[in-house]
């Protein structure tokens, strides 16, 4: 190659890097949308559970149906709160990762991922709900 000629491999490497950044940002978008779907599902399930047990309480006004409805209210509201908090955390994580990508840095996964934290929190919530339902 003569002086002044640019190596085509350098140009291709730059284009590939830009496309890799673009693909990574699209991947972040897909992950964030999956989280939004998950948190909306949790919130919808919580509200649906409250409505279901309210219907049972209205049909059979017994102490047991009242207790189950109250437990469903606590469980449902907790699911909604967890959904809202998780959505906020996912939004912050998404914005942080995009900023790092745009700055040319490599985004890193957290030591304690949000997905594991949420799974443990939901497991504890399920245990608490079973305890309240069967020992309340």
70's tokens: 């109250």
Q: Does residue 16 fall inside a structural domain?
A: no
pTM of the prediction? 0.74
For the beta carbon of residue 46, count every other beta carbon within 10 angstroms: 21
User: How many domains does the chain contain in total?
Assistant: 1
Q: Does residue 81 fall inside a structural domain?
A: yes
Range of the domain at 101: 31-135
Distance (Å, rounded) from C-alpha 124 to C-alpha 132?
A: 12
C-alpha dist (Å) from residue 103 to 23, 63, 98, 106:
16, 60, 9, 9
Q: Which residues contact 57 (CB under 8 A, 6 or more apart)?
A: 65, 66, 68, 69
Q: Does residue 66 fall inside a structural domain?
A: yes
Distance (Å, rounded) from C-alpha 129 to C-alpha 53?
A: 14
pLDDT of residue 64: 84
Q: What is the mean pLDDT of each run of 10 residues along the chain (136 residues)?
A: 64 70 88 93 92 88 85 89 92 90 82 86 85 74
Q: Does residue 115 fall inside a structural domain?
A: yes
107 — phi, psi (to 5°)? -65, 140
């Amino acid at each position: 190659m003569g002086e002044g000629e640019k190596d085509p491999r350098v140009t291709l490497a730059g284009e590939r890097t830009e496309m890799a950044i673009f693909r990574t940002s699209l991947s972040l978008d897909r992950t964030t949308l999956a989280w939004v779907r998950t948190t909306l599902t949790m919130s919808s399930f919580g509200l649906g559970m409250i409505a279901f047990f309210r219907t049972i309480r209205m049909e059979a006004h017994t102490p047991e149906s009242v207790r189950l409805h109250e437990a469903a209210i606590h469980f449902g509201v907790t699911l909604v709160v967890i959904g809202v908090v998780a959505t906020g955390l996912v939004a912050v994580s998404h914005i942080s990762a995009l900023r790092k990508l745009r700055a040319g840095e490599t985004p890193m996964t957290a030591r304690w991922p949000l997905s594991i934290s949420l799974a443990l929190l939901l497991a504890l919530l399920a245990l608490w709900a079973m305890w309240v339902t069967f020992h309340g």
